[in-house]
Structure 1
Amino acid sequence: MARIRKNAIIFLQSVLILVLLCLVAFLLIRMRRQEEPSVPANAGITQNSQPEDVSVRPKGEIEIDWNYDLSGEKILLSDATYGQIYLPVYDNVPAFAQNRDQIVSRNGRRYYVSGGEITSDMGIDVSAHQGEIDWEKVKASGIDFVFIRIGYRTYGGGDVMADSMFRQNYEGAKVAGLQVGVYFFSQAISEEEAVEEANFVVRQLRDCQLDLPVTYDWELIYDDTARTDNVPVDVLTDCCLAFSGVVEHAGYEPMIYQNKRTSLLKLDLPRLQGISFWLAEYGSIPTYYYDCQYWQYSCKGKVPGIEGDVDLNLRFS
């Protein structure tokens, strides 16, 4: 029995030693693998050994063509959310026809000078907000023309109203010898409403003789909620065309008044070609890319015969 017990102990010791050796070998192999750098799964695969279902583009054959034309003019605007905004230029809409370097400022007024001579005309636009106006003093101060508000649509209820001072301003300006045109402040939200506004203007113009266009002045209301807040581009363009069509049919020259930003972002300009344009952009020169016949450059003008501020305008010859 003692011999058998001794042999059993020796066997168990041998097995234990073998297990320990195997464990040590396993740990050594694992440690070595951890110390070796990882190898990409496709390491050693050459172009010739690439699997057939993987497309390989030969070196030097990659070409990128976005069909992007880097030439030509670009219109850049600034926006509080997007920063700089890029707009393409319409090839079929005439660019600004004047030389901006020939626009000069003297005593708060703007003039266009050609060949050493002033070739532009000076004008204002007024409404009941200006109150009583001494038109003789206005004329004597060098003002050549005036656009008078004939009416407006309210931006809340959408009611069409006559300007309470239109007839008095019209008669006073005519007697003083100024050239006269009119404008209607629109808040139309449909083509039908624009036609309604134009018909209202035509009725108010009976017995009036105009020298200048009948202007469609559609404006966004920035400091309050208005019925025009969400008018689509196509609808606003339709309104401009509808108003102008009625006015022209009645024998008057139509014109569109608009500021630079709304014109570029809210009007389909190619559809409005052939209609005169009155630009509202305050500054020393107009930066608007496209052409205009009239330029409203200030809303803080001072003119003898008018108390308070008045809009100043320049007409290019």
Structure 2
Amino acid sequence: MNTLKRKILCSIVGTSLLAATALSSMVVSKAEVNRNKYPVFGVDVSNYQGDINWQELEAQNVSFAFIKATEGSGHTDESVRRNLDRAAGTGIKVSAYHFFSFDSAGETQADNFIAAVSRDEIDMPPVVDIEYYGDKRKNKPSQAEAESILRPLLSRLEAYYGVKPIIYTTLPVYFRYVKGSFSDYPLWIRSVTFEPDLMDWKFWQYSDKGTLTGYDGDEEHIDLNVYNGSEEDFEREFSKSTKKADNTAVSTRKAAT
């Protein structure tokens, strides 16, 4: 091999190694959260966290929690009933989330969630979690296909709970399906490598490798989140008295018309 070929090969290998190192660093890096800027801290949980001691979570400054309730049109999380009941005995504000399916009708997905979570059990709006699963990352549904399912799902949840649902999503799914057609819905965004400061978000999931005490499931980690606002903003936005007043005002306006 002549000198020129060796130099070219070394350059290619060196560039590849640098790229691989940068990618590895990006994958394992953690988003840094300014807790002075985002003081309201919370978690999201599912059956993977097992039996949860909600009082112990509250003692670790957990202010809110999103509890998995359902998937698609037929699945209910095994722990949703236990988690909702036990969390109600704490000062933690809760909501529940539905894992969106690209493979069943939005109306029946909404019915599945409504059957699992009553109006008075949650302090915050219901959540629709839309992300790729199975082969969907490789074989992405079209925007029209996704919207034909997501639109009636969101509409039925809003009609039942009296408030716009929150959309949880990843950055790739946000830009493909949410940004254009559903930007008027509150956003809960997953970004575990950097702060998502180029979009208007309500909640930010900044880690899927959190470690707290108070749960004993197969999953040793717990997802960590922050609210985009102050403690006063959070209490004002999600106090039940405020929601009741808003709902009364809506009912009054409807009656007047």
Counterpart Cα distance in 1 of 2:111 and 2:200: 28
Distance 1:131 1:164, change over 3 A: same
Identify the residue that residue 212 of structure 1 maps to in structure 2: 124
Q: Which moved more, 1:302-311 or 1:205-214?
A: 205-214
1:293 to 2:212 alignment: no
1:181 CA drift (Å): 0.4
* Correspondence list, 1:146-165, <5 A: 146-153=65-72, 160-165=74-79
Q: Which amino acid aligns with 2:143?
A: V
Identical residues among aligned pairs (%): 23
1:175 CA drift (Å): 0.6
1:195 to 2:107 alignment: yes
How well do the aligned residues superpose, as a CA RMSD in angstroms?
2.4
Identify the residue that residue 113 of structure 1 maps to in structure 2: 36
For CA contacts below 8 A with separation 6 or more, give which structure has more relative contact order.
Answer: 2
- TM-score, normalization by structure 1: 0.57
CA deviation digits over 1:56-76, x for unaligned, max 9? xxxxxxxxxxxxxxxxxxxxx
* Correspondence list, 1:100-249, <5 A: 105=32, 110-114=33-37, 120-153=39-72, 160-189=74-103, 193-206=105-118, 208-221=120-133, 224-225=134-135, 229-249=139-159
Report if the CA contact (8 A) 2:53-2:215 is conserved. Answer: yes
Q: Which moved more, 1:239-248 or 1:127-136?
A: 239-248
Identify the residue that residue 305 of structure 1 maps to in structure 2: 214
Report if the CA contact (8 A) 1:240-1:256 is conserved. Answer: no
Q: Mark the runs of 5 or more structure 1 residues left unpaired by the alignment.
A: 1-79, 81-103, 154-158
1:272 to 2:182 alignment: yes
Counterpart Cα distance in 2 of 1:228 and 1:251: 34
Report if the CA contact (8 A) 1:130-1:306 is conserved. Answer: yes
Report if the CA contact (8 A) 1:188-1:228 is conserved. Answer: no
Number of residue pairs matched by the alignment: 196
Report if the CA contact (8 A) 1:189-1:227 is conserved. Answer: no
1:260 to 2:186 alignment: no
Counterpart Cα distance in 1 of 2:155 and 2:96: 16
Q: Mark the runs of 5 or more structure 2 residues left unpaired by the alignment.
A: 1-18, 20-30, 230-257
Counterpart Cα distance in 2 of 1:237 and 1:260: 17
Distance 1:198 1:210, change over 3 A: same
Task: Report runs of 4+ in structure 1 exceeding 4 Å deviation.
Answer: none
CA deviation digits over 1:185-220, x for unaligned, max 9? 122336xx1221111111222374211111111221
Distance 1:268 1:257, change over 3 A: closer
Q: Which moved more, 1:239-248 or 1:134-143?
A: 239-248
SS, match of residue 148 in structure 1:
strand
